[in-house]
């Protein structure tokens, strides 16, 4: 019997690990129909049922479990070999420079805690970090990969959503004390609402909270790092996502006084030119970045 194709085995391993065809399709960047077709072809070629459906999940049969263990080991060995030979290929040459553009607040609150891990694992790469927030601000003559805050489409570019951003209020712990302590949404009306935009994000949140409001501020910022610092200093309440505020909340500088969150209109995306993914350095960084963002603890 001839061996199944590596592509079908990779598809099988993804479905077996994730337990869901749609999730595997997203990971492999193909349609769910293409994943189902690969699974059917694999099972027909083997003459075996590898899965049985339980609700929305694809559960491995006994024979499927045995095959999954072998395939998972083989995939890890192949990936490890590719990493090794790639590292060896670059080790004799001068380190290549990867130029990455990133919003400053994203860099300081999330990427800075992880990027050195990437460099330790990829010692053939030297990185140059630049700052820009939106796609229009990125100078693509100087940038290989960018993390941008906005919404596609961007013709001629590949992009991937890093994570949906639920927005929720954060403030200094001192605003939880005193006669106007924040305990429910209406208490926000006693405090300055800190804005980076024209107030639309706060209007969306207050509408969801059913709080009558007239959103206007005596100060607006064009840099969200300034918004966060004002919140840390107790000057008002910021509306932000977990990805941006996690470190401050974890270290006690900010607290989340209310549980209601609303989706952000713009989102963080990883983006590069369509032809950029053919560059192994760019592809390696993009794969790492998307993997970091997809982890439950990634934020």
More confident residue, 153 or 94: 153
Q: Provide the 8-state DSSP code for 100.
A: E
- How far apart are alpha carbons 173 and 278 in whole angstroms? 48
6-89 and 166-263 in the same fold: no
DSSP 3-state percent helix, strand, coil across the chain (nearest 5): 50, 20, 30
> Residue 201 contacts by C-beta under 8 Å, 6 or more apart in sequence?
167, 195, 239, 264, 265
* pLDDT of 185: 93
Helix (H, G, I), strand (E, B) or coil at 20: coil
For the chain, give every domain's residue range.
6-89, 94-165+266-294, 166-263
Summarize pLDDT for 234-247 with one digit per residue, the tens.
999 998 887 788 88
Q: Go through 107-133 and write b for each residue having 16 or more CB atoms within 10 A of its CB, e for each that does not.
A: bebbbeeebeebeeebebbebeeeebb
Q: At what angle do helices 21-28 and 32-46 cross, to 10 degrees?
A: 110
Which tokens is 245 given?
A: 């505020």
Q: 94-165+266-294: CATH homologous superfamily?
A: Periplasmic binding protein-like II (3.40.190.10)
Summarize pLDDT for 173-224 with one digit per residue, the tens.
999 998 999 999 999 989 999 987 777 888 888 989 998 876 666 677 877 8
Nearest to 239 by CA among 212, 271, 215: 215
Contact between 245 and 167 (Cβ < 8 Å): no
- How far apart are alpha carbons 97 and 164 in whole angstroms? 30
- How far apart are alpha carbons 39 and 47 in whole angstroms? 12
Nearest to 144 by CA among 270, 293, 268: 270
CATH topology of domain 6-89: Arc Repressor Mutant, subunit A (1.10.10)
* pLDDT of 92: 45
Summarize pLDDT for 96-105 with one digit per residue, the tens.
899 999 988 8
- How far apart are alpha carbons 117 and 276 in whole angstroms? 23
* pLDDT of 81: 80
Task: Tell me the pTM.
Answer: 0.54
CATH topology of domain 166-263: D-Maltodextrin-Binding Protein; domain 2 (3.40.190)
């Amino acid at each position: 019997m001839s061996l199944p194709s590596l592509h079908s085995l990779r598809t099988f391993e993804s479905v077996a690990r994730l337990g869901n065809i749609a999730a595997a399709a997203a990971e492999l960047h193909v349609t769910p129909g293409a994943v189902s077709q690969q699974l059917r072809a694999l099972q027909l070629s083997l003459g075996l049922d590898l899965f049985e459906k339980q609700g929305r999940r694809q559960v491995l049969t006994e024979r499927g479990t045995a095959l999954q263990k072998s395939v998972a080991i083989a995939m890890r060995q192949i990936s490890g070999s590719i990493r090794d030979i790639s590292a060896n290929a670059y080790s004799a040459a001068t380190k290549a420079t990867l130029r990455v553009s990133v919003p400053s607040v994203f860099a300081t609150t999330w990427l800075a805690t992880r990027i050195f891990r990437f460099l330790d694992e990829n010692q053939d790469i030297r990185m140059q970090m630049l700052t820009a927030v939106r796609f229009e601000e990125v100078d693509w003559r100087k940038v290989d990969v960018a993390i941008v805050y906005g919404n596609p489409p961007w013709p001629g570019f590949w992009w991937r959503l890093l994570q949906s951003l639920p927005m929720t209020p954060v403030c200094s712990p001192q605003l939880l004390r005193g006669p106007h302590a924040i305990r429910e949404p209406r208490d926000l009306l006693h405090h300055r609402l800190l804005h980076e935009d024209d107030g639309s994000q706060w209007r969306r949140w207050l509408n969801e909270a059913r709080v009558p409001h007239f959103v206007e501020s005596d100060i607006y910022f064009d840099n969200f790092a300034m918004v966060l610092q004002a919140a840390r200093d107790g000057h008002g309440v910021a509306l932000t996502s977990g990805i941006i505020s996690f470190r401050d909340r974890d270290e006690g500088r900010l607290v989340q006084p209310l549980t209601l969150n609303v989706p952000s209109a713009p989102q963080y995306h990883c983006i590069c030119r369509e032809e950029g993914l053919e560059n192994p350095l760019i592809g390696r960084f993009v794969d790492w970045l998307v993997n970091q963002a997809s982890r439950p603890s990634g934020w």
